[in-house]
Amino acid sequence: MEEQLKILKDEIQSSLEQTKGKDALEAIRIKYLGRKGKINSYFREIAKLPVEQRKIYGNRINIIKQELTQQLNVRLSTFKIKSRTDIDLLLPGKVPHTGHLHPLSKIFNELITFFTNFGFSVATGPEIEYDWYNFEALNMAKDHPARDMFSSFYIKEDLLLRSHTSPTQIRVMEKQKPPIKIICPGRCYRYDAFDASHAPVFHQIEALYVDEGVSFGELKWLLGELVKFLFGPKTKYELRPSFFPFTEPSGELAISCTICDGDGCAVCGNTGWLELGGCGMVHPQVLKNVKISPRKYSGYALGMGVDRIAMIKYIIDDIRVFFNNDIRFLEQF
């Protein structure tokens, strides 16, 4: 054992003299001081010695270990980080790119904030929908002419990409008893040409309130508050008679043109008004389809395109820019 310890000590000293660099010193530390290193293997050999020799050789191994640890620490402390001279410390720092919310996300957030402040909760549904939820439960039979204006993408006979978010309202009314007060934001699909004012993929948000004594007057008041929230208190609005199979009576919300302030321009077709969305009282047959009594309950529904609101609010004349991912466009928001 005496001769082995002498050889170990000489070996360590020789390794230290030949070593340069932090990585080489770390390799020596692992080789001799690591859990499976040579010094620990000598400690295990002590158990085989007579009892009277264990303490003697144990102390000698500990001394070798301490000396090696000290030398390694001294050598490591001599390594200093060399300062680079090719960096101009007076140059301004690089400013990281700041991300922006997509304008559609901003409008979605504003609308959700508005409606939740009035007690509405958010409901979502599948984008691949059954014909029953997308049309039939909404009072549009298979041969109903109103289906033509939806230009739907059918996957198979009774399965399609939803053409509006109204199916979510049906799903909620099937499972929940009144009072029901929800908004349904989401993505929709229609077989439309991809041009400045149409896209095959677009976004909607709809609101539904069903309870005892719900009136059209309450709907009109809510729409007025929504217009003021989105476009400012000076924006004029009006409700025009319209037709939807799932509401009766039905109306269409229009606001004074945000470009010409109602004077008439190319954007509003010289009418001074911009259409914003449809609304009305839930048709009694729709309530019957979800087993809600129209004698006891009434409700209103409204729906609008989020893309259209964004185009009106931010004065954007081409819907396609929402899908281009052009950072120059997005940075404006």
Q: Examine the pLDDT at 315 and tell me if it is beyond 90.
A: no
Question: 206 or 92, which is more confident?
Answer: 206
As a whole number of angstroms, the distance between CA 25 and CA 12 comes to: 11
Tokens matching residue 322: 């929402």
Number of H helices, E strands in the chain: 11, 10
Instruction: Burial-class residue 265 by CB neighbours within 10 Å (0-12, 13-18, 19+).
Output: middle
Residue 138 host element (H or E): none
| Predicted pLDDT at 203 | 95
Report pLDDT digits (tens) over 11-28: 777 777 777 777 777 787
Q: What residue segments make up the domains of the chain, in order of their start? A: 2-77, 103-330
Average pLDDT over residues 215-222: 95
Pairing of strands 273-282, 128-130: unpaired
Q: Would you tell me how many other CB atoms lie within 10 Å of the CB of residue 88?
A: 6
| CA-to-CA dists, residue 3 to 6, 10, 57, 71, 195, angstroms | 5, 11, 11, 22, 90
Give the number of C-alpha atoms closer than 13 A to the C-alpha of residue 54, restricted to the C-beta side.
9
Q: Which residues contact 241 (CB under 8 A, 6 or more apart)?
A: 249, 250, 251, 252
| CA-to-CA dists, residue 162 to 130, 172, 235, 306, 320, angstroms | 8, 16, 32, 16, 21
Considering the entire predicted model, what is its pTM? 0.68
| Predicted pLDDT at 56 | 75
Report pLDDT digits (tens) over 264-290: 777 677 788 888 999 999 999 999 999
Instruction: Burial-class residue 198 by CB neighbours within 10 Å (0-12, 13-18, 19+).
Output: middle
Q: Examine the pLDDT at 83 and tell me if it is beyond 60.
A: no
Q: Are 209 and 293 in contact (CB under 8 A)?
A: no
| Predicted pLDDT at 11 | 76
Q: Are 308 and 276 in contact (CB under 8 A)?
A: yes
| Predicted pLDDT at 176 | 93
Closest of 115, 124, 254 to residue 188, by C-alpha? 124
Average pLDDT over residues 297-317: 92
Residue 116 host element (H or E): helix 103-117
Average pLDDT, the chain: 86
Share of the chain above pLDDT 90, in %: 47
Tokens matching residue 298: 């009434």
Q: Would you tell me how many other CB atoms lie within 10 Å of the CB of residue 174?
A: 13
- What φ, ψ does residue 28 adopt, rounded to 5°? -65, -45
Q: Which residues contact 178 (CB under 8 A, 6 or more apart)?
A: 210, 211, 212, 292, 297, 299
Report pLDDT digits (tens) over 179-199: 999 999 999 999 888 888 788
| Predicted pLDDT at 328 | 81
Q: Examine the pLDDT at 246 and tell me if it is beyond 90.
A: yes
| Predicted pLDDT at 190 | 92
Q: Are 209 and 180 in contact (CB under 8 A)?
A: yes
Q: DSSP string covering 220-264, please?
A: HHHHHHHHHHHH-TT--EEEEEEEETTEEEEEEEEEE-TTTTTS-
CATH topology classification for 103-330: BirA Bifunctional Protein; domain 2 (3.30.930)
| Predicted pLDDT at 79 | 62
Residue with tokens 């039979």: 141
